[in-house]
Structure 1
Amino acid sequence: MNTEVTGAGGVRIALRAEGPENARPIVFVHGWAQSAAAWSAQLADPALSERFRLVAMDLRGHGGSDVPADGYDDPAQWAGDLAAVLDFAGPDAIVVGWSYGGLVITDYLRVHGTARLGGIVLVGAITEIGRKREGGATGPIMRAALPAALSDDAEVAIPALVEFTRAQASPKVPGAYAQAMLGSSLSVPPAVRGALFRRDIGSADVLAAVDKPALVVHGSADGVVDPSAAEYSAGKIPGAVLRWFVEAGHLPFVEEPEDFNSVLRRFAGDAAAE
């Protein structure tokens, strides 16, 4: 089901929802220059959708959501958007953030705390951004793409985005999925792609205050977000469990969907029992 909610500042946030409305929610937050379609292997898994209410959002400026002119550097805007999605999804949600989605979750925690959450899953995620921020450490694939991938010159940006997509799509990533990733990247306006990087914010105190179950998932061969970012967030969040997907890259939920979905299903079930 495709629907929408109203986020911070009246921005329309597009959603895709699957599963029973009265089931425990799992909310998915995608990464930079992607969309809710990134989670297609999770949304289509009956083992998840028959037990949980699955809700995947398009970040502002991405996918089917509105594209405001500003606000991308304001944690309160991201927090407000995710709060609206959680209002729709229901209480005690497990929030799953991939890549930049981890920073959006951290923004939510910074503003609203953990009271409405049932648990947190960070997947190939950053929790900080800015020079020398350990929780935002990038890998060689990301560094090679910048700044060209942010350019409004098509002759500069398109080859950079093609190479960025190709480099992170391991042989385990279906070709159709990789091409859809490229389409999602190109659909995000260059101004938005750049605005998401114009931030400098640390999150050590925010992570240390998390008092809900937390799972950190990372591919050991991730070249977009450096594995040290996972070690940082897992080390800061009290009681967090760090789960490596050995030899996986930036897309463990696509490269190893059955294993990832099993890990997520087990975590969500265990969190519900606490």
Structure 2
Amino acid sequence: MKVAGKVAVVTGAGGGIGAAIARKLVDEGAKVVLTDLHDDGLNAVVAELGDAAVGLGGDASAADHIAAVIALAEESFGPVGLYFANAGVGIGSELEFDDAVWDTVIDVNLRAHIRAAQQLIPGWVDRGEGYFVSTASAAGLLTQIGSAPYSVTKHAAVGFAEWLSVTYGDQGVRVSCLCPMGVNTKLLTDDASLSPTAARAVTTAGAVLEPSDVADAVLEAMDAERFLILPHPEVLDMYRHKGADYDRWIRGMRRFQKALRGD
């Protein structure tokens, strides 16, 4: 699908991958509504993009905020044709005993996608066109060492994106799922996000890309209407090895974990 002339919503767009996708969309001729929990970054990106973008701060996992963002898009530019469920959090320890942390991660990394789809898919089916892009992670295919909430919710995000594509793909709804490894964003570099072990697992597994590199991969995949977006191509080889011998892969991940911890 070509994005020129389309109206897009990008969540988590105050920086990182979300901001890079928004910039790329505007460069390609789309109109964009950006949303983020943090107003400072959001306002800066909106100002940078000019008349092609508007913003609305808020929680991307809240149904009323999603409805408000969709309404703002319709008022400003027209019906939403592209939705980028990009907002994500990496908080949480290995097993994580605080239910509030689990609730936050499940809401942002999974329920935000479900709630957006619930509001958009019926209209897209009626119009026979729409594109949902889910930002998951290579952790959703390969598991994230050091963070149970992050790994579990990213697997779930991949599963939900697959379900959307299977269920509505023949009715004009296109779906892509973004699964990068290391990207130079606050999720990777902020001490309050992924644990040190989880961050080391990411940075030692492959190259750390810039958000603009990821945005290029996203738009290229959308042009080809390809489901799986892998800015790190080696993830596909890892995924194939996992599927070829699950037990061997799990043993290898245990060894990798011990090496990261210095055991």
Scaled by the length of structure 2, the TM-score of the pair is 0.33
Q: Which is helix-richer, 1 or 2? A: 2
More strand by share: 1
Q: How does the TM-score come out when normalised to structure 1?
A: 0.32
